[in-house]
Amino acid sequence: MAKAPHSLFARIYDLFMVPQDRFGLAHQRARLCGPAKGRVLEIAIGTGLNIPHYENADTVVGIDNNVAMLRRAIRRTWETKIPVELVVADAQTLPFPKGSFDSIVVGLSLCTIPDPETTLSELHRVASAQGELRFLEHVRSAKPSTARRQDRYAPVWERVSGGCRANQDTARLIEESSWSINDMWSSDGGGLIQGTAVATQA
């Protein structure tokens, strides 16, 4: 099976996500973005579903490597008074100097970006000394029966979902990176995590 092309993925993404937002994910997005302060970087911003949830940011820079997704995000920048700049970029090699951002937001994306370890260290590089990482990710479930089910459908899901690894243990990847987890919430089924981490100093 071939991977869905980037423009097709962009076209179907909101059809798939907007109902999930209506059934609760929007609250999680608000908790993810609402408290983000100062100069904010959101990586893999996609079609911009998080944009209307920023409340305290001075500015938001949103990057994604899929131009078709970013085109769809443009209209969401009109739903906020906070200045939002959209940039085509790879989260693994960000075009920003060291220490550029106070808050870094990542939502439902560390599972899709090919090299999450490199991405986490790149985020650490562009974060300020007191920089905060805010994350919301669907992850390998802590429940063995759910995790086994994820393992079974993960290869097919990866092909149809633009590369999403449904059974990735993202909490472990964050814990093993140059970020230190401050607080973390897991959903009942253990398939969704949300939290914040601070940049550890070298």
Ligand X SMILES: C[S@@+](CC[C@H](N)C(=O)[O-])C[C@H]1O[C@@H](n2cnc3c(N)ncnc32)[C@H](O)[C@@H]1O
Hey, what are 47's tokens? 């079609």
Considering the rule CB under 6 A, would residue 66 count as an interface residue with ligand X? yes
Instruction: Show contacts with ligand X in window 32-61 (CB under 6 A).
Output: 44-46, 49-50
Site string for ligand X, 135-174 (x = CB under 6 A): ---------------------------x-x----------
Shortest reach from residue 37's CB to ligand X, in Å: 19
Contact 134, 196 (CB under 8 A): yes
Output 45 or 127, the one with its CB closest to ligand X.
45
Binds ligand X (CB under 6 A): choice among 92, 121, 178, 196: 92
User: In 3D, which of 161, 179, 162, 36 has the Cα closest to residue 119?
Assistant: 179
Q: DSSP secondary-structure letter at 23?
A: I
**Residue list 105-124, contact with ligand X (CB under 6 A):** 107-109, 112-113
For 84, what's the count of Cα atoms within 13 Å in the CB-facing half-sphere?
A: 26
Using the structure block, give the residue that is written with the tokens 């994820």: 150
Tokens 């106070």 locate to 102
Which residue, 123, 58, 62, 65, is CA-closest to 89? 65
Interacting residues with ligand X (CB under 6 A): 17, 44-46, 49-50, 64-66, 69, 90-92, 107-109, 112-113, 162, 164
